[in-house]
Structure 1
């Protein structure tokens, strides 16, 4: 599917997504036309899903990040769908993951401070449907947050 040239392009691209196409082509050792063609092919086959911004939440005043591990009442046939639909409506929920095992869903929640988190928790999170159990893990530090892979 991907050859060494594709991997080289991806390696440079993920290290600096803002790099101009001409510099990326030069670093990857291909022409601008080849680069363009290969990036387009990687988009078409789903290797590249898009470009996104990474937001520094503390710079915007969100100092608290909490991971909520939720176990749902699985006796309800639509528990997952209804819980996820409701969780999507909470603006401070920035990530939703589902799992197989003891924990069904993990929510990443941001808040300005502990008072804001407490209000979110009571007013918007605890009232989400079909919660059987919920565990909050307060993030102390992000030790590794890099999303790039060794290519």
Structure 2
């Protein structure tokens, strides 16, 4: 479904909301150069069009006991529709899987998994991931340090 293009004001609104989704409408309007009523209409339009999908709070993983990030490459035995659906359904059910992408290249999927420690990752791997029908191989890489992490899209 095509959406109307974003104008400069929409992009300014999105930039501000990406930095502070809790900003009061009056402050948002001032920041983007609108009066409050038209600003609120634009925000609601962006929400209704699905451009703003939801508002979230970003939580520090280490502060809540999930300091280990693991990137997992998964290759399936066969890349057929049923195998893809089975894998994707299994991954959706696992709370430690933060992101999952269907990929081109050597692996079929790339996952980002967060866990409290190596033992928890081993349990996830042995009790869940290796038991998904159709999984042929799994390669894991542990993140040593997060160098850059953004949630705001570059809207310039």
Q: Give the structure-1-normalised TM-score.
A: 0.90
Contact 1:68 1:137 in 2 (8 A): yes
Q: Give the structure-2-normalised TM-score.
A: 0.87
Q: 1:23 to 1:75 in 2, by over 3 A?
A: closer
- More moved, 71-80 vs 100-109: 71-80
The structure 2 residue matched to 1:55, chosen from 59, 65, 73, is: 59
Note the alpha carbon deviations across 1:80-105, whole angstroms, 9 max, x for none. 11111122222222222111332111
Structure 2 residue aligned with 1:10? 14
Cα distance in 1, alignment partners of residues 99 and 81 from structure 2? 23
1:32 Cα deviation after fit: 0.7
Cα distance in 1, alignment partners of residues 34 and 81 from structure 2? 53
What CA RMSD, in Å, does the superposition of the two structures yield over aligned residues?
A: 1.7
Q: 1:107 to 1:38 in 2, by over 3 A?
A: same
Note the alpha carbon deviations across 1:20-61, whole angstroms, 9 max, x for none. 111111111111101111111212222211212222221111
Runs of 4+ in 1 over 3 A off after TM superposition: none
Gaps of at least 5 residues in structure 1 are none
Contact 2:11 2:155 in 1 (8 A): no
Gaps of at least 5 residues in structure 2 are none
